[in-house]
């Protein structure tokens, strides 16, 4: 277990292979990349292939090719969550020996009928493991945190206090568990990602404290939305065009408030990223959880007027 804070800034990008990267993915990847490179830090990539039913065949390799085409080259070994099940189970076994987790047989329908949040019904029942989810006894809830961009963030206390799932009924490990263990083991010092993950952060902080591990900083970038809906693979956001990375990179830099020169529109990825690393200013990134776009495909944005 890594319990010593590293001396060097370490960031990461952790896509899920549920489809190709789109403009919203690029914003998250680019923001985390520039934050790391501007601080002379490491930038890691982890494939969050934790949920096979949601994966698209070939998506993981496509994501890696896209990152390469956009000049977003990572440091160190590429990590796949699907190869770390033993590590997750090691943590759960330790918690089980200390009475920190329990088996839950409540269905989603039952939880919805009770108001949408789990009431702790199974906590003291000692139910068998078969066909059961595993929940963590939340004894030290976290109600808020300070975000590097969004400022002070607080969440519904009922969400903070809920005994949340750490292993699903189908045997798959839960996102909150895996992401904390992975970031902890990698020595990530700051998590830069989209603002759709603001609420789960309090649960992840609670896990860091339970593991007695150094807590990273948090920085949640605004989401790219269209018609009020987040650009996502589930919403069929168009895939990035790897043939013209400079166009989408310029637009992503503009989205992040960095004001790249108009004469760099359509420049090569290497040239654009070199400018971006030199000129990255976090204070220029728009605050707030989302930004509305005029269209869903960055390649269709209006070309800037060249002076």
Residue 69 neighbours by CB distance under 10 Å: 16
Evaluate the CA torsion angle 20, 26, 31, 36 in order and state its sign: positive
Phi-psi region of 3 (alpha: psi -120 to 50; beta: other; left: phi over 0): alpha
Residue 129 neighbours by CB distance under 10 Å: 10
Question: 122 among the known binding-site residues?
Answer: yes
Question: 12 among the known binding-site residues?
Answer: yes
CA distances from 218 to 25, 134, 198 (A): 18, 27, 9
Question: 295 among the known binding-site residues?
Answer: no
Question: 104 among the known binding-site residues?
Answer: yes
Say how many residues make up the chain: 307
Question: 106 among the known binding-site residues?
Answer: yes
What would the two tokens of residue 128 be?
């068998």
The dihedrals phi and psi of 287, each to the nearest 5 degrees, come to: -85, 160
Question: 15 among the known binding-site residues?
Answer: yes
Annotated binding site for Zn(2+): 104, 106, 118, 122
Annotated binding site: 12-16, 48, 104, 106, 118, 122, 175, 193, 233
Annotated binding site for ATP: 233
Annotated binding site for L-glutamate: 12-16, 48, 175, 193
């Amino acid at each position: 277990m890594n319990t010593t804070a590293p001396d060097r800034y370490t960031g990461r990008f952790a896509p899920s292979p549920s489809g190709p990267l789109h403009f919203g993915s690029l914003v998250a990847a680019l923001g985390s990349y520039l934050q790391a490179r501007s601080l002379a830090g490491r930038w890691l990539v982890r494939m969050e292939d934790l949920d096979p039913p949601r994966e698209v065949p070939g998506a993981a390799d496509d994501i890696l090719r896209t990152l390469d085409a956009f000049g977003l080259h990572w440091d160190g070994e590429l990590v796949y969550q699907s190869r770390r099940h033993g590590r997750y189970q090691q943590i759960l076994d330790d918690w089980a020996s200390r009475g920190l987790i329990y088996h839950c047989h409540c269905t989603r329908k039952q939880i919805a009928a009770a108001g949408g949040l789990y009431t702790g019904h199974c906590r003291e029942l000692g139910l068998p493991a078969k066909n059961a989810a595993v929940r963590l006894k939340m004894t030290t809830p976290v109600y808020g945190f300070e975000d590097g961009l969004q400022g002070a963030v607080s969440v519904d206390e009922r969400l903070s206090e809920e005994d949340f799932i750490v292993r699903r009924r189908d045997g798959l490990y839960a996102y909150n568990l895996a992401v904390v263990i992975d970031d902890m083991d990698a020595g990530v010092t700051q998590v830069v990602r989209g603002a759709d993950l603001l609420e789960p952060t309090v649960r992840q902080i609670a896990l860091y404290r339970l593991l007695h591990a150094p807590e990273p900083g948090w920085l949640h970038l605004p989401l790219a939305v269209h018609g009020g809906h987040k650009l996502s693979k589930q919403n069929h956001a168009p895939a990035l065009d790897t043939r013209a990375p400079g166009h989408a990179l310029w637009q992503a830099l503009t989205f992040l408030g960095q004001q790249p020169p108009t004469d760099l529109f359509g420049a090569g990825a290497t040239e654009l990223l070199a400018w971006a690393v030199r000129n990255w200013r976090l204070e220029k990134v728009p605050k707030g959880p989302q930004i509305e776009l005029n269209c869903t495909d960055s390649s269709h944005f209006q070309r800037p007027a060249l002076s």
